[in-house]
Amino acid sequence: MQFSLDQNNRKIRPSFSGQRAICPLCNGQVIGKCGEIYVWHWQHYQDRNCDPWKEHETDWHRRWKAKFPQEWQEVVIEIYDKKHIADVKTAKGVVIEFQNSPISTATIREREEFYEKMIWVINADTFKDNFKTRSTVTSKLREEENEYLLELRTLDTEYKDELESYDKQIKNIESASISKSNELSRLKEKMETLEENCLNKTDFSQKVINTLSTEYYFADTVNVIRQKLDNSLKQQLKEIQNQITEADREIKAAEQTMLSVLNMEPITIEGKEFRLIPYKDIPKLAYQKARAILKESRKTFFLQCVDFKSESDFLNYDYKESHYDFAIDPTDKIDRLKEKQDTGKNKLLSLNEILSELKEQLSYQILQELEFIISELEFDIQELMKVLNNLTAQAGALKRNKAKFMIRMEKELTASKAEIVLKHKNSRSQIMTVNKGYYSAGWKYRRNSWNVALMPIFYDIGEDYLWYQTGKHKFKKVPIANFMSKYGHIFISG
């Protein structure tokens, strides 16, 4: 107690230790305590506490009370038969209770009901470390910052998406252009080959005709032309070529036979030139032209020759080869062979005439087809060049649009970003104004008893501010100066 009553019922502070006065609550005797360390105060005789609500008074209590006008301190409040000393009662009738040690929920309710208009100031110095706070401004600013970054990112993403879609379209067109121009160079190469063919048309058509007698596959142009040629011409060509081969073969065979006849050993019989021949080689129908010559007589001047009377006579000589040599008159045979060769050669001449006529017809068709293929290819090349030009134009237009888009977007982006920056700047300053001093907080170990308090609670943690509890987990930092100007507004310091 800072104050007691003197004999004239005036509120006085002790002025020396041992001074006597009367307790305003119980009218008991109190004694002045005026030490050097603690604030001077009154104490009941034998340190008895007459108000059960009052805990042992500490310096913390005394320092707080001393902040208020003297008349407001230790005010006795009497309601019906109940009497208590309020630590402070302001001019507006608000009781301020300074609570140092834990009290029961029942006591809290009882006091709040008794005083009706009151606030609590709790000494939280001993459990302030048990109290975790987070600035509402900080957490809201963090949320705000995230939102701000998200908006900027979204803006950039939209821009990038559109740019990417341009790039994708341009890339598609460019790769189409590349494949078309590859196709074009292939066609141009083909055209060059075809034009070379045109430079020497005879060689080309001859080359195609030469392939007609085989079934092999040839390079595309040749093959295409081969298939388009008149089938009966192709058939005729094949037949003529076969006939020519056959005629050739016959001529060669006649020549061969002629050669073998001329190679036979000559022998003069009856003034005529005969040729020696093995018996088995004599055609039996030609027995009249054949002679048998006694071997022994060949060494003499007089040849002993036998001519055959009949076919059976000729056949009788089959086993007489040890005694006879045989000869035949080749004149008829040679004449026949000569005739055969002449006929063959004539036939060959006329076949070759037909062949060259056929080749001429085929050659005409081949060159017509070649020209047709070239004109088709020219058309394809023209078309492809149109497509390529078109693609180039499209790519150019897209690139120009992209450039325009980038310029426009650069402006829009700058404007939009400036807008966002401004919006968030305002938002941040609003957050800082509205939430200034507010904190969300929680107890590591809850002081459950204070949950029942309905009246405002201020926690004193020994700083120059108080924590004002505004919700279950919400606190506001209230500077002690602000607290004093609200509750002690008529107090003029020192």
The residues binding Zn ion (CB under 5 A) are 23, 25-26, 28, 50
Residue listed under structure tokens 């502070």: 13
H helices of 200-297, in order, are 201-211, 220-228, 231-263
- Per the CB < 8 A criterion, the answer to whether 12 and 21 are in contact is yes
For residues 195-220, one letter each, b for 16 or more C-beta atoms within 10 angstroms of the residue's C-beta and e for the rest, the string is eebeeeeeebbeebbebbeeeeeeee
Spatial separation of the C-alpha atoms in residues 151 and 143, rounded to whole Å: 12
Closer residue to Zn ion, CB minimum distance, 26 or 387: 26
Q: Whole-number minimum distance, CB 484 to Zn ion, in Å?
A: 29
Closer residue to Zn ion, CB minimum distance, 15 or 27: 27
Q: Whole-number minimum distance, CB 20 to Zn ion, in Å?
A: 13
- Per the CB < 8 A criterion, the answer to whether 357 and 132 are in contact is no
Residue listed under structure tokens 């134009």: 393
Spatial separation of the C-alpha atoms in residues 175 and 35, rounded to whole Å: 99
* Residue 276 phi, psi dihedral angles, 5° rounding: -70, 140
Closer residue to Zn ion, CB minimum distance, 25 or 86: 25
Give the tokens for residue 73: 């301190």
CA nearest neighbour of 213 among 247, 184, 236: 236
Closer residue to Zn ion, CB minimum distance, 23 or 348: 23
Q: Whole-number minimum distance, CB 55 to Zn ion, in Å?
A: 15
Q: What is the DSSP string of 353-388?
A: HHHHHHHHHHHHHHHHHHHHHHHHHHHHHHHHHHHH
Q: Whole-number minimum distance, CB 50 to Zn ion, in Å?
A: 3
Closer residue to Zn ion, CB minimum distance, 79 or 262: 79
Q: Whole-number minimum distance, CB 446 to Zn ion, in Å?
A: 35
Closer residue to Zn ion, CB minimum distance, 46 or 179: 46
Q: Whole-number minimum distance, CB 53 to Zn ion, in Å?
A: 12
Q: Whole-number minimum distance, CB 42 to Zn ion, in Å?
A: 9
Closer residue to Zn ion, CB minimum distance, 14 or 488: 14
Strand partners, 118: 95
